């Protein structure tokens, strides 16, 4: 009898897990090492990949994108479980780990390729992104919001050494992050949230 009970519980659990819908969002918030690290900590996020979006060159390299000549943003592909976090909640979390007022880069990283952007894949995402930007402004921390809303076109994964950089190179990453001023800004605006 206990075996049958165990099998039934297992089947229900497995069918619930397999029904979870994994969705994908594309975001840019400056250094992708930092946005990858921050977004991987958000409950409901399944995976984050660093890469490039929004440009006019096929299969760009880091050197090409960082030169500012390809039109790409350093961006992230965020896979999330929509049963655990909505697109709106995901955007709200994202907007709290960037400087949404700076449209010419983020922190020490300067240039178009480091500016914040939300890449929407459909009209619903576009509308939710507009609402998220209005909401973050309503919270009263910022006088002006300068996050670009752009239609998603393509995403190119960055080179392997950029993936999970904060895990593979923790000392270098922590040093870079501290020197960037990102955490100091976020703590000043949001506190230890």
* Cβ atoms within 10 Å, residue 48: 24
31 three-state secondary structure:
coil
What does the block give as tokens for 29?
A: 């918030």
Residue count of the chain:
193
| Catalytic-residue membership of 34 | no
Considering only the C-alpha atoms of the chain, give the largest distance between any 2 of them, rounded to a whole number of Å. Answer: 67
Contacts 24+ apart (CB under 8 A), 126-134: 126/151, 128/87, 128/88, 128/91, 129/91, 131/88, 132/88, 132/91, 132/92, 132/95, 133/95, 133/100
φ, ψ of residue 86 in degrees (nearest 5): -85, 165
Which of 31, 65, 91, 147 is an active site residue? 31
Catalytic site positions? 31
């Amino acid at each position: 009898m206990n075996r049958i009970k165990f099998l039934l519980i297992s089947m229900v659990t497995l069918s619930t897990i397999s029904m979870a819908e994994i969705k994908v969002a594309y975001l840019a918030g400056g250094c992708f090492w930092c946005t990858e690290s921050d977004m991987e900590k958000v409950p409901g996020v399944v995976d984050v990949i660093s890469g490039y979006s929004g440009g006019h060159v096929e299969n760009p390299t880091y050197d090409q994108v960082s030169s500012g000549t390809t039109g790409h943003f350093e961006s992230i592909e965020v896979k999330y479980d929509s049963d655990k976090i909505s697109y709106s909640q995901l955007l709200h979390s994202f907007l709290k780990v960037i400087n949404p007022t700076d449209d010419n880069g983020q922190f020490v990283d300067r240039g178009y390729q480091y500016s914040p952007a939300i890449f929407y894949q459909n009209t619903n995402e576009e509308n939710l992104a507009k609402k998220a930007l209005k909401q973050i402004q309503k919270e009263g921390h910022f006088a002006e919001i300068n996050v670009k809303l752009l239609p998603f076109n393509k995403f190119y994964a960055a080179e392997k050494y950029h993936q999970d950089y904060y895990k593979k190179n923790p000392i270098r990453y922590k040093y870079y992050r501290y020197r960037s001023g990102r955490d100091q800004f976020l703590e000043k605006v949001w506190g230890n949230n």
